[in-house]
Amino acid sequence: MATKETTNKKTENTANYSKYIAWFWRLFVLGLLSIVMLFLLASWDVFGKLPTFEKLENPENNLATKIISSDGKLLGTYYNENRTPIKYADLPQNLVDALVATEDERYYEHSGIDFKGTARAFAYLGKKGGASTVTQQLSKLLFTGEAAKGWKRYVQKVKEYVIATRLERQYTKQEILAMYLNKFDFLYQAIGVSSAARIYFNKDIKDLEIHESAVLVAMLKNPRQYNPHREISREKSLGRRNQVFKQMEKNEMITTAQKDSLQALPLDIKFTPEGHADGMATYFRENLKKFMADWIKENPKGKNPEGDIEYYDIYRDGLTITTTIDSRMQKIAENAVEQHMSNLQKAFDKQNEKNKTAPFRGINEEKVDGIFNRAIKTSERWRKLKAQGKSESEIKKSFDIKTDMTIFSWKGEIDTIMTPRDSIRYYKKFLRTGMMSMVPQTGEVRAWVGGINMTHFQYDHVQTGKRQVGSTFKPFLYATAVDQLHLSPCDTISNTLYTIPAGSHGISKDWTPKNSGGDMGGMVTLKYALAQSINTISANLMDQVGPKQVLRLAKNLGVDISDIPETPSIALGTPDISLYEMVGAYGAFANQGVYVKPQIVSTIQDKNGTILYQHVPDPKDVISAESAYVTLELMKGVTESGSGSRLRHSGRTSGAYKNTVTGYPYGFRNPIAGKTGTTQNQSDGWFMGVVPNLVTGVWVGGEDRSVHFPGIGYGQGATMALPIWGLYMKGVYENEDLKVSDKNFKRPPNLSIETDCAKYKSEGVNEELPDELDF
C-alpha cells in the first residue's frame, strides 16, 4: 500500500513532467514561428533586397556573342563570360540523369527545398552530404553570389531557400536544370555546359557520351579540385567521375555492368581553349570587332526606363554574327601560311647567320638603336609601367633585366629567360604575312589570315597594315590604258628607255626608270611586258594616260588614294596599300568591271533569333566588262610565261584533281590571272591571284623594311608570297564541295579587242626565270 509521501512524490513528478512538456512545445512552436518569421523577414527584403518577379523571369546573364562561319561552324565567341545558352531540349539525357543522380536525387519530388536532405544534413552535421538542391544552387549562382562567412552564411542560406521556392513557382523543372547548367562556371572560359563541352571535349553538347557528361557533372562539386585538364587534379577528377556512375547505378539509371565498364574508361579529354587568341580566324575575329563597334554605334537598342540610349554589347548580349568566312577555306589558308612561312623563316635565319646587324640589313647601328627605342616606347610593358608612375629611366632599365617569358617559335612556344630588349630583337627577325580570299561577285570574304600567330604578333596585315605594293599596282595602269586607249594584250611597244620630261604630269625633273633586270630592246607585246614587269613600258603607258586617271580608277576600285601622290612613279608600285583594298580592287576584274566592296558579315541576330542586320551588296560599275576581261588576259600572261609561271610546273598527272599534277611544285592547268610584286631591297613580296569566282592576295615581309632577304632569289614575290597562294588553291581545289571554278573567265559578248595573240606577230621572247628554291 502506497504511503501518502509516495503519492505526493508521484504527483510532483507528473507536474514537473507536464511542465517540461509544456516548455518543450512552447520552445518548439517558438522555434517554428522563428523559422517562419525568419523566412518572412527574408521574403520582405529585411536581410537585403531579393530579386523581383521581373528578374526571376529574366535573370541577368552575360551571354557570349557567337561568331558563325558561312558553312555553319562556330569560329569563336566574344565574351565577358564565355556562355552559349542552350535549352533543356538540347541536353543529352545522360547528362540530365547524371546531374540529378549526383546532385539532387529527389529533384522531381521537392519544390525547391529538400527537407529530408536538410534533416539528414543537420543530423550528421553534413558528413553524409549537404542539403542544397539544384534549385538552391541555381539561386545562389543567380542572385546570392559567393558563399558568405559566419552568421551571414545562415542569412544567405535563408535567402537561397526563399529564392529557390520562387524559382520553382516560376519555372518548370526542366527549365531550372537548363538554367543551372547554363550558369555554372567550369573554368578556362567555359561558362555553361555548352561551352564546357566544346572546351573540354571539342564537341557540341548534344554529342556528349555518358562518360563525358559524368566528367562535367563531377566538376559541379568543385570545378578546380575536380578539373580534368589540370594535371594536379586529374586523379581526383577520375575518382569523382566514377562516383557519378555509382550514383547513377544507385538510382537505377544504369546497370551494375554498365557502371563497371564505364568506371574502367580513362579520362578522354580533348582540351580546346577558346581564349580570344585561340582557335581559328583569330585575326579576322579581332578585326570583326571594329565592324561591330561601328554597327552598334549606328544601331542603338532604344532607350532605357531612364530615357538614356542603350547600345548592344557584344560581350553580354548573346548576339549571333554569321560571317562570310568559310571554315574549310580558312583552315586551308592557315595551314598554307604555316607550311610556307615556317620553311621561309628557316631560309631567312640561315642567310642571317653572318649578318652582324641581323635581322636588319642596309642600316647602321644608330638606325638599329632607333628601331629598338621606338619598339620599346610602343610596347605593352612601357605602357603598363608608365601607368604605374615609373620614370622613363626606370622603365628603360627594366628592359635590360632578365625575366621569365614564353616566346613564339615555329616548333611551339618556348619557356625561357631573357631581357625584354632581347625579346624585341628576337621577334623582329620573324617574317610576317597577310592573306585574304574573296568571292568577287558578292564581295564575301572566305579566308582572312592577318599574321603568323595572334598571341605573339597581334598586328593585322590584311586591313590594318599598308605596305608598298610593287608591281601588283601595274594592272591598274594597264587597265586604264586598255579602257582609254582600247589597247590589246597583243599590241607591241618598244622596250627602250622612256623619259617623261620635267613639267609633264607635275614632275619637276626628268624621270627615266630602268628595268630591274637591265634587259631592253626590241618590240614586246603588252601581255609580255606585264608578265615580265617591264618598267620602261610602264613609263610609256603612264605618260599616255597620266597618273590622275590611274588614281581615279584605283579610287573607284576601293583604294584609299588620300596619301598617294599624283606622280608617274606610281606606275612602278610605290604606293602603300592594304591587302584588303588590293583584293577588293582585283575582284572587279573578275566581276566584269563591277566593284563590290569586301564584306565580312552576312547577318546579325539578337539572342532571340531576331534579325538585326542583313548585308545587301552595293555593286558599282567601274570599268567596262571588255576592259576588265582584257586586263585578266594580260594578267594570265604572268602565270603562263612570267614570274608566276612556276605555278604551272608540270609532272605526272594526278587522278585526285584534273587541274593539278603531282610534280614540283603546284602544277595548275586551269586559267589563272595573277601578278607578283617585289619592292625595293626585297622588303615586300606580293602575289595576287584570280580565278573566275575567287580572288586571293598574299603579302610577306618583315615588320621593318630593313628586315629582308639579301637577294632577289628568295626576296621576290614569286618566292615569298606566291607559294602560299599555290598551297591554298591546291587545297581549295581538292575539296570539290567548295565549288571554286577551274574554268576560263567569262568572255563579254561582242568583244571588240583581240586577245588571241596567235593572230599577231610578236617578237617578244620569254625570259628564263630562276626556279623556285626548294626549302
Q: Which three cell numbers stand for residue 487?
A: 589597247
Q: What's at 730, amino acid-wise?
A: K
**pLDDT grade for 64, boundaries at 50, 70 and 90:** confident
Q: Please, what is the angle between helix 474-485 and helix 579-590, to 10°?
A: 30
| Length of the chain as a residue count | 775
Give the span between the Cα atoms of 715 and 721, in whole angstroms.
10
Among 25-34, 173-182, 473-482, 650-659, name the one with the lowest average pLDDT: 650-659
**pLDDT grade for 657, boundaries at 50, 70 and 90:** very low
Phi, psi for 123 (deg, rounded to 5):
-65, -40
**pLDDT grade for 115, boundaries at 50, 70 and 90:** low
pLDDT at position 78 over 50: yes
Between CA 228 and CA 234, with CA 231 as vertex, the angle to 5 degrees is 40
Looking at residue 320, what is its pLDDT? 97
pLDDT at position 205 over 80: yes
Going by C-alpha positions, the residue among 612, 698, 51 that lies closest to residue 433 is 698
β-pairing verdict for 65-68 and 320-323: parallel
Looking at residue 654, what is its pLDDT? 42
Mean pLDDT for 102-124 is 68
pLDDT at position 349 over 60: yes
Highest mean pLDDT out of 10-14, 77-81, 169-173, 336-340: 336-340
Among 86-100, 167-181, 599-613, 637-651, name the one with the lowest average pLDDT: 637-651
Counting residues of the chain whose pLDDT is more than 70, the rounded percentage is: 84
Looking at residue 705, what is its pLDDT? 95
Q: In this predicted model, what pLDDT tens digit does every residue of 674-722 receive, in sequence order?
A: 999 999 999 999 999 999 999 999 999 999 999 999 999 999 999 999 9
Going by C-alpha positions, the residue among 269, 176, 271 that lies closest to residue 215 is 269
Which has more confidence, 312 or 170? Answer: 312
Phi, psi for 295 (deg, rounded to 5):
-65, -45
pLDDT at position 37 over 80: no
DSSP 627: H
Mean pLDDT for 647-662 is 51
Which has more confidence, 610 or 113? Answer: 610
Mean pLDDT for 500-504 is 94
Looking at residue 151, what is its pLDDT? 43
Dihedral, 326, 330, 336, 339 alpha carbons, nearest 10: -150
Residue 29, helix vs strand vs coil: helix
Counting residues of the chain whose pLDDT is more than 90, the rounded percentage is: 70
Going by C-alpha positions, the residue among 654, 734, 720 that lies closest to residue 687 is 720
pLDDT at position 661 over 50: no
Q: What's at 193, amino acid-wise?
A: V
Q: Tell whether omega for the bond before 359 is within 30 degrees of 0, i.e. cis.
A: yes
Among 37-41, 91-95, 260-264, 405-409, name the one with the lowest average pLDDT: 37-41
Within 10 angstroms of residue 93's Cβ, the number of other Cβ atoms is: 10
Mean pLDDT of the chain: 87
Owner of C-alpha cell 566592296: 597
- In 440-578, alpha helices (H): 474-485, 526-531, 535-545, 547-556
**pLDDT grade for 273, boundaries at 50, 70 and 90:** confident
Torsion sign (Cα): 604, 609, 610, 616 = positive
Mean pLDDT for 162-181 is 87
The model carries a pTM of: 0.79
Looking at residue 32, what is its pLDDT? 52
Residue 83 Cα to chain centre, angstroms: 17
Mean pLDDT for 737-747 is 97
Looking at residue 321, what is its pLDDT? 98
Residue 431 Cα to chain centre, angstroms: 21
Looking at residue 660, what is its pLDDT? 43
Give the span between the Cα atoms of 77 and 320, in whole angstroms.
9
Beta bridge partners, 684, equal: 701
pLDDT at position 127 over 80: no
Residue 211 near residue 268, CB atoms below 8 Å: yes
Looking at residue 16, what is its pLDDT? 64
Looking at residue 31, what is its pLDDT? 57
Q: In this predicted model, what pLDDT tens digit does every residue of 401-435 receive, in sequence order?
A: 999 999 999 999 899 999 999 999 999 999 999 99
58 burial level (CB within 10 Å; 0-12, 13-18, 19+):
exposed
Within 10 angstroms of residue 726's Cβ, the number of other Cβ atoms is: 26
Torsion sign (Cα): 362, 368, 370, 373 = positive
